[in-house]
Amino acid sequence: MVTAETAVVLPVLLLVLAGAVAAVTVVGAQLRCVDAAREGARAAARGEDVATVTALVEKAAPEGAVTSVSVVADEVSVSVVAEIAALGPVPLRVEVSAAAVAVREPGGAESG
């Protein structure tokens, strides 16, 4: 009887474990996108050029993330979008993104 119950429950436990691993992977990538966007916005607010901001964001963001930087009047906006494989080799991809806005600091260099 115990063997039969184990045979029925084991696949369910494996699915729950796979779901938990996928959730941790997605949340981790989301947090990396948030950190990268914030770091980029801080750098852009200091007056760093777009190439420097993009390089900083790429270091902090998940691999393959796409970064966009926009400067409007005295505000800078940085957004990061990444598509990740939540379960490794399984062809299930999830898009995570984050954006951050900062006010440009007085006396900073002009960004373009």
Q: How many domains does the chain have?
A: 1
Beta strands per DSSP E along 1-112: 66-72, 75-85, 93-103
pTM of the model: 0.81
Full domain range(s) for residue 49: 2-103
- Are 35 and 99 in contact by the 8 Å Cβ rule? The answer is no
pLDDT tens per residue, range 5-14: 888 899 999 9
Q: What is the pLDDT of residues 43-61, one digit of tens each?
A: 999 989 999 999 999 999 9
Task: Yes or no: say if 69 and 54 are a contact pair by the CB < 8 Å rule.
Answer: yes
In Å, what is the CA distance from 13 to each residue of 3, 75, 83, 96?
15, 49, 27, 27
108 within domain boundaries: no
Per the domain annotation, does 12 fall within a domain? yes
